[in-house]
Structure 1
Amino acid sequence: MKFSEPLLEGQLIRRYKRFLADVRLSDDTEVTAHCPNTGSMRGCQPDNARVWLSESNNPKRKLKYTWELVETGSGQLACVNTARPNAQARHAVEAGLVPELDGYSECRSEVKYGAENSRIDLFLGGHRNAPDAWVEVKNVTLAEEGEGFFPDAVTTRGQKHLRELMAQVAAGDRAVLFFVVNHTGIGQVRPADHIDPVYGRLLREAAAAGVEIIAYRAALADVDGNPSGNLTLTEPVPVSLEA
């Protein structure tokens, strides 16, 4: 899974109003790009950072550019576009790259479910030997000393998703929390208790109730650490629930 077109490199001038970012491209042109990230982007917007934008030719779009990648202060790459992880996870599942979710003949996105009026990121059905699976996908880009943390801001929505997943297990189905690690410097994923202790508590409750928790890393960079345009999930990442 790759970006459909080569990305444009630039330098971050500022992010503001949450969803806007001013960027100076390599030809010194200044553009305003859409920042599709509802989180704090903690650690992913250092001053004057190298960034990479995708470009759209859709005349109906208000902003032509979308912020996709950033070089963090530690020199790692992170994908900040939170619209990407669902597609990354679906591609990996359908390509047989996630053994934990292999064997399903049906894969659908945004299926309504739950008592709290939710939509699941991926619904998997049609397995010969396993119940249906409800898969919630989360993007992990917050890195601290080689460890990845989720969430990067308090998330009542994420807390709701954990309750919904536990209910699916209680009903006899599988429920899976799928962390997509979109940061090349993360070696392990942990709950961000220092940011959202309620989420951390609920995550441990969910694991104890039978919700499966997995994490896979995206390629993002080539062997020299440069953006490869490759969003494919390439390897599992351990998850620790230790406090």
Structure 2
Amino acid sequence: MIFQTPLVPATLVQRYKRFLFDAVLDDGSAITGFCPNTGSLRGLTTPGSRIWLSEHDSPTRKHRYMLELVSVGDTVVGINTGLPNRIAEVAIRIGQVGNLARYATLHREQKYGRNSRIDMLLSDQEMGLAYVEVKNVHFSRARGLAEFPDSPTARGAKHLEELGDMVEAGHRGIMLYLIQRDDCDRFRICGDLDPIYAKAFRRAVTRGVEAFALKCRVSPQQIAPDGLIAMDEPAFADL
């Protein structure tokens, strides 16, 4: 996914109230912008961090700038949770996620489960239906290791249960963890920060839900899927 307009570099001052951040542009202008991520962004909100913003001039928008990328050491991390579905679709279509490219059709945001919407529904006359849930991953606290979640997520646990229901109904249920950083070569479920989600993940896998972790190449010019990485054994512990 190529950014259609050049991103604006800036320096982070603070992120607060989940949806807001203050920053200083390179010309010295102080701005307040919108943060498209309601999570904790653990490890990604250090004052003084180099960041990149998309700029929007729509009169209906309250804030002109939106946070897209954060620099952590030598790594650029994507934090916009509105992008993973688009990136995941590209990865599926070019054959980076198992055999999902073989399905005839792909539809986004389809109703299913208990008043939920699945990120992608794949269908094929011979292969049947595959329900694909995508989660954005940006958290890393050990070299080379991406983790999810970075804070408790009851909604995430609910999605795992619903995927299991789809498997028991005779379909495929697929959990795709999309890692918006390129410094990780393995992934695991972060059970110490959210043991309930970890338990839900273990239950989902025993019910037949498939899990994949896909990393990306991230730069201020584009975010591109870069293939599957290993799921650490702790992700499947005690199954």
TM-score interval w.r.t. the shorter chain?
over 0.9
Percent identity of paired positions between Structure 1 and Structure 2: 38
- Residue in structure 2 matched with residue 157 of structure 1 by the alignment: 155
Shift of 1:147: 1.0
- Residue in structure 2 matched with residue 183 of structure 1 by the alignment: 181
- Residue in structure 2 matched with residue 220 of structure 1 by the alignment: 218
What stretches of structure 1 of length at least 5 have no aligned partner? 222-226
- Residue in structure 2 matched with residue 202 of structure 1 by the alignment: 200
1:25 counterpart = 2:22: no
- Residue in structure 2 matched with residue 52 of structure 1 by the alignment: 52
Aligned partners of 1:110 and 1:120 also within 8 Å: yes
Aligned partners of 1:8 and 1:53 also within 8 Å: yes
1:1-243 aligned within 5 A: 1-72=1-72, 74-114=73-113, 116-128=114-126, 130-145=127-142, 146-221=144-219, 227=220, 229-240=221-232, 241-243=235-237
Task: State the distance in 2 between where 1:127 and 1:217 align.
Answer: 30
Task: State the distance in 1 between where 2:230 and 2:33 align.
Answer: 34
State the aligned residue count. Answer: 234
What stretches of structure 2 of length at least 5 have no aligned partner? none
TM-score, normalised with respect to structure 2:
0.94
Higher share in strand: 2
TM-score, normalised with respect to structure 1:
0.92
Moved over 3 A (4+): none
Task: State the distance in 1 between where 2:74 and 2:32 align.
Answer: 24
Shift of 1:242: 4.4
Secondary structure of 1:238's partner? strand
Shift of 1:117: 1.2
Shift of 1:230: 1.9
Task: State the distance in 2 between where 1:198 and 1:181 align.
Answer: 21
**CA displacement, residues 195-232 of structure 1 (integer Å, 9 cap, x when unaligned):** 000111111111121101011111113xxxxx3x2212
Secondary structure of 1:219's partner? strand
Shift of 1:163: 0.4
Aligned partners of 1:217 and 1:233 also within 8 Å: yes
